[in-house]
């Protein structure tokens, strides 16, 4: 059995930093902060939280858009709205919000105190920043758009970090992937995994770019990393 709720993590004026939490009933587990794409706290991420809760994780999907004009979920067929919201998004504020979410999880009686972060697209970039700034216990970034803007922070990553890229990603140029991979070589905590033929969003079931083979390979690496926290 799992327990689900939508807790308030913090408040600022009339705005509330909320999220979706799924955790096992009656037992403490390691924490996992799931950082969404530009769509927001969509069903694909709440379902992921439920799946991890069934495996013993306290999985939290924070609403990184709680400061935005529109804080809800943007449908897949309204990408123009999602891109506009992302254009106004502050990754510095997002990293601070992840720090708040991690602190909230670590202080919760149902969490063991160990917390990892996993993020997708813009959430992947935020997951990287959580590794360099927030000092989570582990982090995973899938098709993270924009890590190349923070290459000076690669040396600050002191926890295990995995970066996953599809080589047919229409939003992340190969030059950016190569630059990130080159910077990662100097830090033994960072792994880079590349998936030939996989496009952007390959990990999300139901999306046209879903790639079952890439998901299978990426999941092996992710589970190996997260097993360290149990």
Q: Which residue has the tokens 């004009």?
A: 69
**pLDDT digits 0-9 by tens, 20-46:** 999 999 999 999 999 999 999 999 999
For residue 66, the enclosing domain spans 2-229
Does the pLDDT at position 98 exceed 90? Answer: yes
Cα–Cα nearest to 38, from 103, 96, 109, 89? 89
- CATH assignment of the domain containing 40: 3.40.50.1820
Mean pLDDT over the full length of the chain: 97
The pTM score is 0.97
CA distance 22 to 31: 10
* pLDDT grade for 206, boundaries at 50, 70 and 90: confident
Mean pLDDT of 161-182: 97
Work out how many domains the chain is built from and give that number.
Answer: 1
3-state secondary structure of 198: coil
Q: Is 119 exposed, middle or buried (0-12, 13-18, 19+ CB in 10 A)?
A: buried
CB neighbours of 80 closer than 8 A, spacing ≥ 6? none
Mean pLDDT of 196-216: 95
Asked whether the beta carbons of 126 and 89 are under 8 A apart, the reply is no
**pLDDT digits 0-9 by tens, 42-70:** 999 999 999 999 999 999 999 999 999 99
**pLDDT digits 0-9 by tens, 118-171:** 999 999 999 999 999 998 999 999 999 999 999 999 999 999 999 999 999 999
The reported pLDDT for the residue numbered 207 is: 87
């Amino acid at each position: 059995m799992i327990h689900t709720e939508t807790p308030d993590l913090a408040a600022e004026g009339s705005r509330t930093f909320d999220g979706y939490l799924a955790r096992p009933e009656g037992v403490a587990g390691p924490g996992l902060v799931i950082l969404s794409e530009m769509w927001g706290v969509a069903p694909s991420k709440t379902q992921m939280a439920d799946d991890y809760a069934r495996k013993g994780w306290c999985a939290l999907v924070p609403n990184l858009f709680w400061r935005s004009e529109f804080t809800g979920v943007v449908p897949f067929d309204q990408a123009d709205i999602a891109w506009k919201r992302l254009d106004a998004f502050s990754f510095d504020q997002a990293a601070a919000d992840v720090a708040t979410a991690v602190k909230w999880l670590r202080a919760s009686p149902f969490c063991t105190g160990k917390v990892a972060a996993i993020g997708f697209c813009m959430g992947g970039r935020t997951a990287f920043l959580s590794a360099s700034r927030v000092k989570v216990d582990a982090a995973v970034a899938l098709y993270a758009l924009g890590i190349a803007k923070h290459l000076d922070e690669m040396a600050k990553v002191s926890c295990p970090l995995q970066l996953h890229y599809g080589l047919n990603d229409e939003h992340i140029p190969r030059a950016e992937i190569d630059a990130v991979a080159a910077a990662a070589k100097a830090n033994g905590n960072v792994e880079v995994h590349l998936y030939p033929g996989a496009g952007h969003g390959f990990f999300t079931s139901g999306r046209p770019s879903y790639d079952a083979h890439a998901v299978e390979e990426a999941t092996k690496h992710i589970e190996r990393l997260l097993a360290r926290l149990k």
